[in-house]
């Protein structure tokens, strides 16, 4: 595979594999970081390079302010990733990461850049559908923490740790503001196949909302459901990895021979 460009803070734990044929960029959910995907390279096929994306405000970039608006995030992210798009690549994003993957692909198309060969969009309603419920990013701390507890994505030991929450709350609020204030703009469907993943018990994103991604592609659309809630990617990790590996092998079969 082509030599990896110079390091950037946007890419953490990259796994460059000799003989790999596809680079999979993985985008985290609200409050999450690149470490969510750190172990994926050990269980996915060796033909796949895993490149976890690290937005500012978390983990290795904890001291940087997080983005609160999707356009500003995409404006900064696009040039940072462009040097890495020199080989066939795909995007996987969960929740906020799905939204990031989608809008990044739209931006690449607008500027005539290289396009992903596939989008794996997980745990997020189709973007043309209105968000249900009220914004939560501006809630007072007790109510905001209770919403985090309801979503089941932040461990109780973290929610109950005052010191950890003091570090986590700013980025969580920034990420939720980014999602809560997202404004979809109508455009032609992407010429990129989409696979939508979701949790069967996810009360935040229904099967119907997930199936709406079909409207965002002029290519093939597939939807797969897993046991679990909004964070099924942790509770059903083994099944997710098995399914994703199979789907990625299908993507590899569509690529031209090296």
Catalytic positions are 95
Rounded distance between C-alpha atoms, residue 189 and residue 218, angstroms: 5
State both tokens at 225: 């459901």
Q: In sequence order, what DSSP letters do the residues of 116-181 get, joined into one string?
A: -S-EEEES---TTSPPPS---TTS-HHHHHHHHHHHT-S-HHHHT-HHHHHHHHHHHHHHHHHHHT
Contact 1, 17 (CB under 8 A): yes
Which three-class secondary structure state does DSSP give residue 27? strand
Contact 138, 28 (CB under 8 A): no
What is the Cα 161 distance to its own chain's centre? Answer: 27
Exposed/middle/buried for residue 159 (C-beta within 10 Å: 0-12, 13-18, 19+): middle
CB atoms within 10 A of CB 18: 6
């Amino acid at each position: 595979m082509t030599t990896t460009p110079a390091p950037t803070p946007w890419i953490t734990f990259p796994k460059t594999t000799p003989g790999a044929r596809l680079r999979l960029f993985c985008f985290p959910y609200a409050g999450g970081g690149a470490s969510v995907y750190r172990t994926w390279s050990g269980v996915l096929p060796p033909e796949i390079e895993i490149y976890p994306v690290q937005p500012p405000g978390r983990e290795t970039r904890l001291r940087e302010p997080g983005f609160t608006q999707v356009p500003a995030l995409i404006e900064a992210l696009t040039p940072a990733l462009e040097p890495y798009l020199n080989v066939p690549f795909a995007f996987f994003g969960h929740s906020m990461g799905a939204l990031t993957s989608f809008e990044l692909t739209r931006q690449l198309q607008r500027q005539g850049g290289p396009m992903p060969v596939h989008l794996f969009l997980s745990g997020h309603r189709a973007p043309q559908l209105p968000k249900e419920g009220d914004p939560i990013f501006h809630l007072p701390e007790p109510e905001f923490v209770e919403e985090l507890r309801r979503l089941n994505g932040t461990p109780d030991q973290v929610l109950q740790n005052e010191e950890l929450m003091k570090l986590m709350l700013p980025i969580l609020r920034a990420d939720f503001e980014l999602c809560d204030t997202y404004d979809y703009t109508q455009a032609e469907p992407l010429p990129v196949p989409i696979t939508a993943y979701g949790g069967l018990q996810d009360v935040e994103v229904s099967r119907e909302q997930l199936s709406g991604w079909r409207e965002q592609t002029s290519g093939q659309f597939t939807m797969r459901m897993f046991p679990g809630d909004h964070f099924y990617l942790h509770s059903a990790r083994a099944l997710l990895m098995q399914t994703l590996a199979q789907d990625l092998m299908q993507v590899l079969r569509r690529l031209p021979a090296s």
